[in-house]
Chain A
Amino acid sequence: MLELRNITKVYNPGTVTEQTLFRDFSLTVEEGQFVSIVGSNGSGKTSLLNIICGSIPIEGGDVLVGGQSISRLKDYQRYATMGRVYQNPAAGTCPNLTMLENLSLADNKGKSFGLGRGVNRKRVDFYRAQLQSLGLGLEDKLDVKMGALSGGQRQAVSLLMATMTPLHFLILDEHTAALDPKTAEIIMELTDKVVREKKLTAMMVTHNLRYAVEYGDRILMMDRGHVVLDRAGAEKQATSIDDILGMFNQISLECGN
């Protein structure tokens, strides 16, 4: 279970551009829940993910996993049980390493990076099978440099790498936003499959309202640091894109857009 307790987040504290995003913000995500988060730009979606991952500091409050505070852990320490896929397909892999080297790195997460062989040839068949399950024809490209693959292919491998070792949380930060509609669809289906198969707790920020409605079992809408809509279970299933869109427009009107 993930808990955010009374989070305060202030950007540029002590300057004229000081801006408070979160004040006493609290949120609880149950074990195994797949949460989609929508909201306009600047509503705090990505900041929320960054706070969970420890990428940005907080001015107050606490982040807890399974009742234990992780606020004092550095970002890399938190990633021991977390995986993250970014909006930019280049962010999840090393462009100048081959796919095999990239997968080997991900496969070794949680173990020591010592003087053993970087690439374990015995695992190649396993990698091939994993790549084959993506259905993108990547299984023959193990020796190709990651940078030579398309955005969609890279994002699929990023997803594979982020979820290769056992993990608790999967953080998806607009991970389909930079892809063409067809590829985005494939990645989204893959994501859903991985989350279900591995029974992950997942948080997905998206601007695609259809994905937010179709996938996941809880939907959050955020606006200026507040959760303005929170539906789970049957209530979430009954939510349509029009409901969300209507709410979106209402918020925009309030903002004077």
Chain B
Amino acid sequence: MQDLIISTLTQGLIYALISFGVYITYSILDFPDLGVDGTFPLGAAVTAVLLIRGVNAWLTLPLAMLAGALAGLFTGFIHVKFRIRNLLAGIITQTALFSINLQIAGSNLTVDRGTDTIFTSAPVMALMGNSNNMTRKLVVSLLLILVVKLLLDLYLRTKSGLLLRAVGDNGGLVTSLAKDKGRVKILGLVIANALVALGGCVVCHEQRSFSATMGTGQLVYGLAAVIIGISLMNYYSASPLARRLRKHKGLGWLASPAGTTAVILGSILYKLCIQLALSMGLPANMMKLITALLFLLVLVLSGRKGEEIIHA
């Protein structure tokens, strides 16, 4: 039981990386990017190949992000320069990536036990060599997610980040600030896809494998996590507790959590729900069905709040 909780938490944390990417495209940019299902395995494919070739485990993180960034650049470029609709631009990237991923990896890959992943890399083993495998994975994922979350929060507060938030909120304003809104959108897609590929990279480290079909349903996962997280945050921000906290000088910051915090919680909750359904005896083959049904449930429950969520 304890193992199950730890592994679910770890999964929730790792998959929050995808949700960060979806948060940027769907919530901030108002650009439903279907490329996610291709970018996620792209990150994993690049990572698997690099690990098998003996590249340092930590180095695969920025390299996978770079690959994801290029995919985002492509989606953004064809959307902005050729005016391909956002949904279609994502579908084109996703479809192309399926073949590209297989070209990169050659076939489905397994990283053998002898190869160091980030979870078994020297610095981690030096610090936590005595802990068991699962605890180590949890701690490393937690730290990784926190670092990414803090960097993302910091970025969203910079001038560039502010412009990114503005472009999804009111593109016309960006134009009137004498900035090319197309470029800002492309930048957002680059960052988002880099994060999704990072998710794929870490999942590859965790599972020690890449499969061409591992991207299927990842967008739905990311969306569900984002919508659960943001809906809960909206409920919480309007709650009497948050209102009371807001009046306190020192505790005011607790009243309005960052969107990224909400997304992490959404991701963990969603993994938990899926895990619950599976542990109640549903076969693993049913996982995507459960993912879809749960997503539907989330959409129905968050109901009228839908319009707010889009721009949350």
Contacts and interface: CB of A to CB of B under 8 A. Distances in A.
Interface of A: 74-77, 79-80, 82-84, 86, 90-97, 101, 104-106, 108-110, 112-119, 162
A162 B159 contact: no
Contact of B181 (A76, A92, A109, A118): A76
Contacts of B180: 74, 76
A152 to B, nearest CB: 18
Interface in B147-187: 155, 157-163, 165-166, 169-170, 172-181
Contact of A95 (B169, B178, B179, B181): B169
SS class of chain A's interface: helix, strand, loop or mixed? loop
Contacts of A97: 162, 165-166, 169
Contacts of B100: none
A221 B62 CA distance: 61
Interface string B297-312: 0000000000000011
Contacts of A96: 165, 169, 311-312
A96 B156 CA distance: 13
Interface of B: 155, 157-163, 165-166, 169-170, 172-181, 311-312
Contacts of A109: 177-178
Given A75-B175, A83-B176, A96-B165, A117 B158 contact: yes
A93 B171 CA distance: 10
B246 to A, nearest CB: 11
Contacts of B178: 76-77, 79-80, 109-110
Given A76-B175, A83-B176, A105-B173, A94 B166 contact: yes
Contacts of A93: 170, 173
B174 to A, nearest CB: 8
Contacts of A162: 176
A84 B176 contact: yes
Contacts of A80: 178
Nearest to A106: B177
B166 A79 contact: no
A115 B176 contact: no
A215 to B, nearest CB: 23
Nearest to A115: B158
28 contacts: A76-B175, A76-B180, A76-B181, A77-B178, A79-B175, A79-B176, A80-B178, A91-B173, A92-B173, A92-B176, A93-B173, A94-B165, A94-B166, A94-B169, A95-B170, A96-B169, A97-B165, A97-B169, A109-B178, A113-B162, A113-B163, A115-B155, A115-B158, A116-B158, A117-B157, A117-B159, A118-B157, A118-B158
